[in-house]
Amino acid sequence: MSPAATFVLVHGAWHGPWAWDGVVPHLHAAGARTITPELGAGGLHDDVGAVLDALPDGEKAVLVGHSYAGLVVREAADARPGAVGHVILLDGWAGPDGASLLA
């Protein structure tokens, strides 16, 4: 992986970007960039939109989703595959295609 990789670190439910405070310094020390978007209470569609808005232009980011955000980053990667180089799930759930947390 390139030392200039950008990691989009997406927190799980009932967390915030602060959940990544112990990880971000290590990634920066390795030369990586980090983006930690804030997910709101608007639901899956809005959360996917927040991740899509956070993706950097002109490069393939590494999406990391914790817990509920596993589904969020999977949906974001499906929506914009050209902007995503890798998807990492950390204790995450992505579900099968068409999955919903409500169904």
Task: Quote the tokens at residue 61.
Answer: 């980011």
Per annotation, catalytic residue among 67, 68, 73, 75: 67
* The Cα angle at residue 32 between residues 30 and 38, in degrees rounded to 5: 130
| pTM listed for this prediction | 0.89
pLDDT of 37 strictly over 80: yes
Provide the 10 A C-beta neighbour count for residue 67: 19
- With H, G, I as helix, E, B as strand and everything else as coil, classify residue 64: strand
Told to judge if 67 belongs to the known catalytic residues of this protein, a careful annotator would answer yes
Task: Quote the tokens at residue 28.
Answer: 């920066």
* pLDDT per position as a tens digit, 50-89: 999 999 999 999 999 999 999 999 999 999 999 999 999 9
